[in-house]
Structure 1
Amino acid sequence: MSSNFCSKPVDVSRFGVIYAGAQKNVGPSGATIVIIRKDLIGNAQGVTPVMFDYKIHDENDSLYNTPPCYGIYMCGLVFEDLLEQGGLGEVERRNKKKAEILYSAIDGSKGFYKCPVEKSVRSLMNVPFTLEKSELEGEFIKEATKEKMVQLKGHRSVGGMRASIYNAMPLAGVEKLVAFMKDFQARHA
């Protein structure tokens, strides 16, 4: 888990290992959180690097090496904030609302914007979309940047645009993007 970690409640008992790059919703870049079921600890192969032998970490209370104190501290602050917001159930409700607003704008654009992802598996965190007139994508990015909406260029392997609406993105940010999208469409349809 990475993009969706701490974006919604998860029954951790359903997983043997959860390995999350936590920089999306929890902490600074490089923060990684591992949750491993006890019965899986101690089964590392001989070629497994020490840092990935979770038995070593378990025996040392996760302090085998010098921990990244700043990253852990920041994660702790985020966890406190998530609890203050009402917990992951409330965070998920907010994330669903943001995603619904953005996907509705895309789906309701009469084909001007298109989401290349099947509706049943769409992400609540990353919303990819393309323009019917692909030659306008550069202009879209340029104009959005002028409006202080940055990092909308699509993933290098997919192209198009991608709106990352992680936990920290407020509803107002999504509403601003949707208003911009509607204005851009009106001017370029």
Structure 2
Amino acid sequence: MKLKKVVATLSLVLASTFVLAACGGKDDAKKDSSSKEATSSVESKKESKVAVELKDGEYKLEEKKYDDKGWKAEFGITVAEGKITKSTFDYVNEEGKLKSEDKDYQEMMEKQAGTGPADFIPELNDALVKEQSADVDAVTGATHTSESFKEYAQKLIDAAEKGDTKTIEIDNKAK
């Protein structure tokens, strides 16, 4: 009887060892291959940013109408040596003042959303130059502006790919 228990226990331990060894080996192989896939995915993403050459020049975009608060977007990028070197997204009012410089608007936005145009507009502009892509992170508290920024940045990048320096006019449905 004792011999049967010992043989059964050893058999169980041996079978468990084979199962664990087989599973462990496959996980390592999966980790290695998925790690390689992730690396090549990142490399492909980086390559896609540079895949299309941008033509040097200044590209501009502006909304045609002021919104219900009296602002409209104006956006420009400068491309030199095939790269975006400057981004000048902001909102302007009918007096020609920039939203990012409006202290009253900044205070009101900070109270409501925790951030204001003096904070998030430069952040978006810097991100475009750094990333060389319209696919920048949205700014918390400025979702609408972030979405408009991304959409308009892509339009400017498309124009820069073609070398079309004509000002893009956006027929926004404000006022």
Same-fold call, TM cutoff 0.5: no
Larger radius of gyration: 2
Q: Which has the higher helix share?
A: 2
- TM-score normalised according to structure 2 size: 0.29
- TM-score normalised according to structure 1 size: 0.27
